[in-house]
Amino acid sequence: MTTPVLKKIDALKAKIDARRPLDAHMLKQVREYFRIGMAYSSNALEGNSLTETETKIVIEDGIAIGGKPVRDHLEALGHSEAYDRLFRLAKNQEITEANVKELHRLFYYRIDAKQAGKYRKRRVIITGTDFIPPAPERIPDLMESFIAGLSEARAKHHPVEFCAIIHRELVTIHPFIDGNGRAARLLMNLALLQAGYPLAIIPPILRRDYLDTLNKTHKGNDGPFITFIAGVCYESTKEYLRLLEG
């Protein structure tokens, strides 16, 4: 399905591609800019109290922020480490089950090493929604089916639609005891990088729209969520080009 916003994203991507190969110094700066932005926003969506500036201080300077929970610091460091892995995984054109587990492990091992990268063994309840995640014994088969269908889905959909679909699918399976949203956002960005698109950041100010459209997918309506993710990708691509143009 082609929509005006997807055409706009592709037009911006063409402008970015015209500047390749990017200057190594500029590329490093842009990557660090998105490292902090992604870590801050993805964690803030889940209630992390660090500001964007505090996230930068924790990640780049290794300095603890007084009065802030230890876990919030660990989430920032974990997300930064998973972010680095994205670029290594993006060199391949496939997503494996091991990739999904590895991204979760890197984000989560400082918080709970025993659960990091491991499928949950207990039922979970998600507050604020009537969605009930699958029983834990179904997760291995659901994840196997999910991964097996990725090649067909990638070929069928625009890369932005594809990244929204795999985000939705992973959150619906809810394979981990915690950190599923962050794992899904890392996964969707892996798909974007593999397709040559800039990373996408979901601003915390859009949290309600994000959750509302995601909840609709659980009732069989993917349209609003795909539209939401496309809008986020458009804004992030604009920001990427702005940085390059200086």
Pick the catalytic residue from 73, 79, 104, 174.
Answer: 174
How far CA 126 is from CA of 27, 30, 94, 130, 204, in Å, comes to 39, 35, 30, 8, 19
Q: Nearest CA to 186 among 109, 94, 240, 106?
A: 106
Residue 31 tokens read as 């990557």
Scan for tokens 């500029």, then name that residue.
26
How many residues belong to the chain?
246
Q: What would the DSSP string read from start to end of 140-153?
A: HHHHHHHHHTHHHH
174 is catalytic: yes
Any idea what DSSP says for residue 177? S
CA 127 to chain centre: 21
- What is the number of other CB atoms lying within 10 angstroms of the CB of residue 145? 11
176 SS3 class: coil
- Indicate which residues carry an active-site annotation: 174
